[in-house]
Structure 1
């Protein structure tokens, strides 16, 4: 990536970063080599800058035909920290991108085109109340788990909670519901001994 020429710090999710990722993809295809890219940002907190830089990085990753995407969620401060709130927000973006790439299946039966519903609504009604809509409204569009699509008044009445706050509540909810997967005790002890040995050799302590 390029750097911030005022400080020397690496910059991510920039126009230059996107172009470099896409050019790397072209080189990978030319030489028939796998490539990897990342969903990265230079922001320090999970705010608007963090999300647009990460979105830029992720779109460049998929447009370049990356085989592996490292750091697809949670990256902050140029990779110096990982944020649980940012992880949740990034997962929402990843789901949107995944939905975007789902194949479009074109159906042309009268029921799919909603001819009868169009006749029923006419020129002065609306589609929300017709049965055709009622049968499809839960599955027709991707449903986000963090985004709030209400208008300002509805959002304000619901507490006016900003995205990072909603993400914080979601990650705490996930952690509260966490169930430790079963592991053979002998394997656990072997891993524990390995971690202890590496820490004693100078590695960083861990909460394993």
Structure 2
């Protein structure tokens, strides 16, 4: 679906942010690029100052924007899950690096495991409104970072055939990760033809510094044909300017540096403009990800992506609440709706995430599917057609008919096209609700989770492929 009806930035505001970002790149620049990156970007036209910072002339930025991929496709292992990015097309999915799982029944937090990650992937695979899975949690039960990265790839891709996003902890782990993906795909050629996993890459450490090792990872995954999410995640008032507009300026500047970097390596390589500015609650220093300000910033970022004509993503739909409660509901709905209405291509963190990205909840992921369904209905908008506003039916009902529309053909046909019905949301009367045992929303989500996980995963690998993978890598998930 296409959004774009919500535009918190005026055309003049967009222009001023763009010009300020260019000024920041030209005058401030970015520090700490790896030697390989310095060589790549200076050969393209960046200038290395005596202070060690790379600065980017406007002409260089404009040249690389002209070379950058505009419309890209993120492939699923199953082609029916392919995502076409660009324009104002909207897709919702998970993301993050939560270190805890939320138990909504015991109201407790525990460390997340590789089984939790695999289960999240299996749940996402069955949810209609969650379009992609970016790894939402860290496998805390695997202390070796190399094994954690490889098992994260395995857990996600064996759980869903939708597009997957993953990270690499160190550059040295990329080769094995790509080797694993070749095995899953059926060879290097098959992988390069349809790369179904992208790299979520925090290539900058705000404010205005490159993350050296992440940049080295980025260089390697680009060579391997993997799409890249260029992720800038500054915290307004801490590692980004305190104003909403200023935080967007810095995120745009940092991601424009990423556009230069990527396209100096491989012009037109698929990359997502990942402006993810966050906010701090100055009363406590905690993140305020569920705030209206966060929703506005993510929507404003979508407008900047559209200004450049680049596929883009930002964070929305996550909550500061520790549990799937009323606070979580209003926070998740607010930012998910505004992100969709703004036409954000990739809405990350859209379901399941709590405690300002520290906790993930399977039940909340399932409930989030309902929230995103309602958000998508808002994105779709109101279709005003000749049939929709025809007074013929009104005339027949009011003048010649029963005085209501319940039996009309249009009512039945529109029931399935104009309305979205929640899977778990309860719309019964109080009397009916009591008669069916006063069902609890969280209990219903748990039942749905158990139903999904009781089934054999449809994304599981061919037994021979799986055996070969397990012979080469230490896979922690049981067979």
Compute the TM-score of the two structures, normalised by the length of structure 2: 0.37
Gaps of 5+ in 1: 198-204
Name the residue aligned to 1:121: 402
- Deviation, 1:116, is 2.9
Report the count of equivalent residues: 197
Q: CA deviation at 1:145?
A: 0.9
SS of equivalent to 2:425: coil
Query: Structure 1 residue 107: deviation in Å?
Result: 4.2
What CA deviation, in whole Å up to 9, does each residue of 1:56-105 have, x standing for no partner?
22123223321212222211222222211101111011112223334726
- The correspondence of residues 28-177 of structure 1 with structure 2, limited to 5 A, is 28-38=305-315, 39-102=317-380, 104=383, 106-108=385-387, 113=393, 115-118=395-398, 119-122=400-403, 126-128=404-406, 130=407, 132=409, 135-136=412-413, 139=416, 141-177=419-455
1:21 aligns with 2:293: no
- After superposition, the CA RMSD in angstroms is 2.9
Higher strand share: 2
Point out the more displaced range, 152-161 or 22-31.
22-31
Where structure 2 has 5 or more consecutive residues not aligned to the other structure, the ranges are 1-277
3-state SS of 1:188 partner: helix
Find the aligned partners of 1:145 and 1:167 in 2 and give their Cα distance: 10
Greater CA deviation, 130-139 or 165-174? 130-139
| Alignment TM-score, normalising by the size of structure 1 | 0.77
The answer to whether the Cα contact below 8 Å between 2:333 and 2:375 also exists between their aligned partners in 1 is no
Q: State the match for 1:4 in structure 2.
A: 281
User: 2-side partners of 1:113 and 1:15: how far apart?
Assistant: 42
More divergent stretch after superposition (11-20 vs 107-116) = 107-116
Q: Structure 1 residues 25, 102: CA separation in 2 closer, same or farther (over 3 Å shift)?
A: closer
